[in-house]
Structure 1
Amino acid sequence: MRGIGQDLTVGERIAWYRRRRGMSQEVLAGIVGRTVDWLSKVENNRIDLDRLSVIRSVAGALDVSIGDLVGEPTLLDWNADSGTKTVSALRDALLNYRQLSPFIPGPVAEAPDVAQLRSEVTQVWDAYQASRYGYVVARLPQALAAGQAATQTYEGEDQEQSFALLALTYQAAAVLLTKLGEADLAWIAAERGFTAAQRSGDVVVMGSLFRSVTHTLLSTGRYREAKQLTTDAAAYMQPGLGEATPEYLSVYGTLFLAGSVAAARDEDRSAVRSFLNEADETARRLGHDANHLWTAFGPTNVAIHRVTTAMDLDDVQVAIDLGPRIDTTGLPVERQARHALETARALSAWNRTDEAMAVVLAAEQKAPEQIRHHAISRQLVQNWMRRGRGRPSYQLASLAQRVHVTA
């Protein structure tokens, strides 16, 4: 973030950047097609501004990024898993110029055999889905180096498998960095992963990396491009649907889940319906919830995305009606926690603060690192702290401390 701390709400950040740009409320409100009264209420925390489509519009008018307004990137806490080298070590690994070409001279790490490499990638992804961010960020630099060494050492089928595993490692880096608000680094990881996926010749891995690129486009507010990429990626995979394996179906289906979020943030209701219907049909063909290639795809994840897209379209009633009824216990912890945050966001929008906080606290018990580092958690707590009358409750004050929000 440019010249501003972590302790402001989205509305307060808008006011800060507006003044920095020398803009009046009348001018900014006119640019984004809103009233001055609306903007005043946003800046004074009387309206929660959490729709990313609107935030993108305001960010564009102020010539800042969405991350600047929502308070990203976040500082990843040190813990026993992460040690004291977290995102900086991963940044060094991604920006190592020797990765640009195998013809640049330099030392090459000893290559693990393909089975060992697959085991390392599995451990990283399993930890991500368990919301162990510290563990993932600590293991990724080593896993990337191992994957690169394998692709340079082996030939034939072993090399193709190594490229596939390297692509999935880059994808793990991209999804984690997206969660932490490191959009530029996430894009580098997704792009490198896509290149490795192409070298693997594996259509399923290619589809998985298409999804990763879609998420990085989402994180930078490029919703229309993300929506189009969904259509293009689906067309790429469609010829293989006739004999699709469960893994193939899972990757294909998740393309539409990511696309539905892009469409919702682009305020394209028709595309949202189309993408969710395609995902639902694919989930029915799969027949059950599964986690092939760490997609967590199935009927429940489709239902989760109906809630997410409803919130992005400001259909709060739909989200409140559906969200609390979805049983996510069969899904990975990461999915459970993410849905909990969306449900809490819906409840909070209707001033059901106590219920919303209970949902967040329950999710924190399962996924403390995810809840404490997610922008939605911070925005919710900031709004609750600002809106409360008098001293906050012990529960809220303690939660605020854990998510690094001050009164």
Structure 2
Amino acid sequence: MRNNATPDPFAEPVAFGQRVQILRDRRGMSRPVLAGLLGMSPSWLKQVENGQIQVPKLPMILRIAEVLRVRDLADLTGDQSLAVDLFIGPGHAKLPAVRDAINAFPLSVERPVPSALHLRHRLSGAWTARHTAPNHREVLGDLLPDLIIDAQLAVRAADSAADRRAAQAALSEVYSLSQFFVAYQPDSSLLWRVAERGMVAAHESEDPHAIGVAAWLTAQAHRDSGPGHFDVADAVTTEALRYLEPFLPDAPDKVLAICGALQFEAGYTAARRGENGVAWGWWDKADKAARKLPATYYHPITSFSRAIMGAHAVTVAVELRAGGESVRQSVKSDATAIPSRPRLARHRIEEARGYQLDNQPEVALATLDKAHEAAPETIRYNGYARRIILEETEAKSPDRRRRASELAVKVGLLAA
């Protein structure tokens, strides 16, 4: 009987080009799209996939891995000596405890049931701790197990419909906090479980802010799954914006902020598609939303604010592969206005991507050093940063190789 199953790219022996084609097909990406994102021609990519030309050098392999969101470099190369996680970071030591709390269903736990107001106070403290910590997963790993169980208990123990809705809103936010911990760790099914439970709890709460936040995180999860999921990400974003629109005339700042954050997410996805005008059009809408907020306002979950729009502009330019524009936006942005250490580190990484695109690798490495100073854990889990560092360890310049190697040791890509 003929076997029509898709070949396993990780079964030996499979040539590099075959692996590229199989992984591209699994992402639902056409050859012209992948070639365009790599800055190469479809005919060049066809020759790579057919084995008609030599395997590209490491910088191009890393770019292919970045675009295809390959988890482990060895999955692409077939060389187990290159077993390096790119877009999935190392499993945190506290991941098992958080996973156990998420998977548990506390039906007969003998512990006091907290009120929704009590959970709100704990959540506020947890978000503050996340933004001020250089290693936010370490902090969240301590807080989340009890928060998750207590929020589940609060929903079960609610005496009235109003109390239950308030508890569901708090539970949804606990799942949002959990998603920041789980993201880029080696358990993608857990990430989706958290995102889906957060959305269900948000719907049950009937709270516009909770629904907006859950949609924001769900759209990100779809977009990060690859181009084949971009349409779903857009559908989630646009539906959430349509839902929030009637609330905006009298909405509190947090609802205005989540609306602006969703508008930027639509622009982010458009930039990933290479849709220049659409991406900047959504950025303009988000910028107008930010200007309606107080100058010092900073949304604790999405980081949406006036201060973040400069960083968002850098991200749009980088995703559009516009190196010069990325650098211009980096110069215009005010990184010192970003109060969150992990968000500042992410902005520095986006700046480094821009400098790399603009053929300024020395500045890119220096900017990644700044990201490491702001939040070491953020750069350790960021695939783009890891790709740039690995690429520069192969640079012709001895000084760049040395600086990249030193940073690779700090990040955990190379042994000391």
- 2:253 aligned to which of 230, 243, 246: 246
Cα shift at 1:188: 1.0
CA displacement at 1:390 relative to structure 2: 4.9
* Distance apart, 1:137 and its partner CA: 2.0
Distance apart, 1:41 and its partner CA: 8.3
Other-structure match for 1:167: 172
Name the counterpart of 2:337: 330
Q: 1:124, CA displacement in angstroms?
A: 2.2
Offset of 1:110 from its aligned partner?
2.7
Q: Distance in 1 between matches of 2:406 and 2:147?
A: 36
Q: 1:289 to 1:142 in 2, by over 3 A?
A: same
Q: 1:158 to 1:388 in 2, by over 3 A?
A: farther
Count the aligned residue pairs: 374
The answer for the alignment partner of 1:124 in structure 2 is: 126
Partners of 2:277 and 2:130 lie apart in 1 by 33
- CA separation of 1:300 and 1:27: change in aligned 2, threshold 3 A: closer
Q: 1:129: how far off?
A: 2.3
Aligned equivalent of 1:367: 375
Separation in structure 2 between the aligned mates of residue 41 and residue 311 of structure 1, nearest angstrom: 29
- Aligned amino acid, residue 162 of structure 1: A
Percent identity reads 23
Amino acid at match of 2:212: G
The CA deviation at 1:199 is 1.8
- Partner amino acid, structure 2, of 1:205: A
Q: Deviation at 1:343?
A: 0.5
Q: 1:55 aligns with which of 56, 59, 68?
A: 68
Post-superposition offset of 1:57: 11
Secondary structure in 1 matching 2:379: helix
Shift of 1:393: 5.6
For residues 226 and 73 of structure 1, do their structure 2 counterparts lie closer, same or farther at Cα, with a shift above 3 Å needed?
same
TM-score of the aligned structures, taking structure 2 as reference length: 0.79
Residue aligning to 2:163: 158
Unmatched tracts of structure 1, length 5 or more: 1-15, 78-84, 100-104
Counterpart residue identity of residue 47, structure 1: M
Once residues 20 and 58 of structure 1 are traced to their aligned partners in structure 2, the CA distance between those partners, rounded to angstroms, is 19
Mean Cα deviation higher: 372-381 or 294-303: 294-303
Render the CA deviation track for 1:226-247: whole Å, top value 9, x for unaligned.
Answer: 1221111100000111112211
Alpha-carbon distance in structure 2 between the residues aligned to 1:393 and 1:272: 35
Question: In structure 2, what residue type is equivalent to 1:330?
Answer: A
Check conservation: 1:224, 1:263, Cα contact below 8 A.
no
Per-residue CA deviations over 1:141-178 (Å, capped at 9, x if unaligned) read 11100101111112233332221111101011112322
1:155 alignment partner, SS class: coil
Do structure 1's residue 232 and structure 2's residue 247 form an aligned pair?
no
Change (3 A) 1:177 1:113: same
Distance 1:26 1:136 in 2: 37
Change (3 A) 1:218 1:148: same
Alignment of 1:306 onto 2:313: yes
* Counterparts of 1:273 and 1:208, CA distance in 2: 22
SS of 1:43 mapped into structure 2: coil
Aligned-pair distance for 1:181?
A: 6.0
Aligned pair partner of 1:279 in 264, 277, 286? 286
Corresponding residue number in structure 1 for 2:147: 143
- Separation (CA, whole Å) in 1 of partners of 2:76 and 2:215: 28
Cα shift at 1:93: 2.1
Q: Given the superposition, is the C-alpha separation of residues 69 and 233 from structure 1 closer, same or farther in structure 2, using an over 3 Å criterion?
A: farther
> Secondary structure in 1 aligned to 2:394?
helix
- Per the alignment, do residues 217 and 181 of structure 1 end up closer, same or farther by CA in structure 2, a change over 3 Å counting? farther
Runs of 5+ in structure 2 lacking a partner? 1-8, 33-41, 78-82
Kindly indicate whether residue 53 of structure 2 is the aligned counterpart of residue 45 of structure 1: no
